[in-house]
Amino acid sequence: MKIARILAGLVATVSLALPACVKQGEQPESEQQKVVVTSPKAKDVLITQQYVCQIHSKRHIKVCALQNGYLQEIHVSEGQRVKEGDLLFKIQPTLYEARRDAEVAEAKLADLELNYTQTLAKQSVVSPNEVALYKAKLDKANAKAKLAQAEVQFTSVRARFDGIVDRLYEQVGSLIKEGEVLTTLSDNSVMWVYFNVPEARYLEYKGRQGMGKGKQQQLKLADSRIELVLADGSKFKYDAGDSVTIEGQFNNETGNIPFRADFPNPDGLLRHGQTGTVLIRRRLNNALVIPQRATFEILDKRYVYVVDKDNVAHQREIQIQHELEDIFVLKKGLDVNERIVLEGVRQVHDGEALEDFEFRKPEEALANQKFHAE
């Protein structure tokens, strides 16, 4: 009984402390957030779209042996820069040189036989057909001699273009088979950077700029700049301009299509097989922007409260084109001259007349907001 009387006294004390104007379950009027109204703003915005990428050499080939035999000489080391035509490997040529010498001797013999037959033909000892037969025999012998000479030359493996020698897979003395990979050669003067673009984003790019008429599927991204961020977060000093190459088909499983951007690599920093992030920076001129806090979400759709000329709030769906850190870039749904609720959104209801609100200029509502995405 004594505890019950104490609790009753505490309840009476709390009831007397509450103002008479505040009903149970309501907040005091001083704690109500004031409704603030503003308008969308047309402004230039820099959009940055990121894609994980793989970096490939413009030319990256396997250097293979053209003949069977023992590896006699290696004239390069791993990571060495070479010029087109430089000797890389030498296969022991003894057997091929011997075969060449034999074929050259056969060609000389066929030449002597032809000369002797031509002399007899002038004396009407043999027919012209006999001369033609020996002429064909000489041609065949010369062709076999040239083939043998080519086989000797194939024992010398040379660089097909300027590039960097990669790992050496065989050592001097190894028995090499025709077609066996000896190393790889990379031309890193220009790097091909591949990244996957979703279908919706591809259609967006395609809608802004049509395909070129060349053999390659070139796409020019108007008002854009393509940059590359490396694995350590540093930005590559050269950019790829505003053009990309598009492959021929989408991946049905992922819904993506591969794009390729070409980056100059005069310093040789980029190597075949690296990874990074492609940044496509694009400027949107006179884009319509609003603060994100002016919106609310219902079932994955975005809405704002639009205040009409009679100060009545109406709920309206909007479509977002791009999302930056604190603002939305609108695709459609609002006009620059309309008014929207900026603050106190939770206190407003559809069809409700706003009696007491503050109008804030768009410049003030968007103050300190970032209009570029990093």
Single out the residue of 249, 331, 254, 282 nearest to residue 52, CA to CA. Answer: 254
DSSP summary character for residue 211: B
Sign of the CA dihedral with 173 first, then 174, 175, and 177 last = negative
**Separation between Cα atoms, residue 149 and residue 126, nearest integer Å:** 34
d(CA 355, CA 159): 82
Say if CB 274 and CB 218 are below 8 A apart. Answer: no
Q: CA-to-CA distance for 109 and 141, rounded, in angstroms?
A: 9
CA-nearest of 299, 349, 346, 306 to 330 is 306
Domain 61-185 indexed as CATH 1.20.58.1610: no
CB atoms under 10 Å from CB of 361, counted, come to 11
Token representation of residue 173: 């003395």
> Could you state, in order of their start, the residue ranges of all structural domains in the chain?
49-58+190-284, 61-185
Cα four-point dihedral sign 133, 135, 139, 142: positive
Cα angle, residue 221 at apex, residues 219 and 222 outer, rounded to 5°: 130
Look up the CATH superfamily of 49-58+190-284: Efflux pump adaptor protein, beta barrel domain (2.40.30.170)
List per-residue pLDDT tens for the chain, 374 residues long.
444 444 444 444 444 343 333 343 444 444 567 899 999 999 888 888 999 999 999 999 999 999 999 999 999 999 999 999 999 999 999 989 999 999 999 999 999 999 999 999 888 888 899 999 999 999 999 999 999 999 999 999 999 999 999 999 999 999 999 999 999 999 999 999 999 999 988 988 887 665 444 445 778 887 789 999 999 999 999 999 888 999 888 998 899 999 999 999 999 999 999 999 999 998 888 899 999 999 999 998 999 999 999 999 999 999 998 888 889 999 999 999 999 999 999 999 999 999 889 999 998 888 866 555 44
Please report how the helices 94-122 and 128-153 are oriented relative to each other, as an axis angle in degrees rounded to 10.
Answer: 160
287: Cβ contacts below 8 Å, ≥ 6 apart: 42, 43, 44, 45, 321, 329, 330
Could you tell me if 164 and 79 are in contact, meaning their C-beta atoms sit under 8 angstroms apart?
A: yes
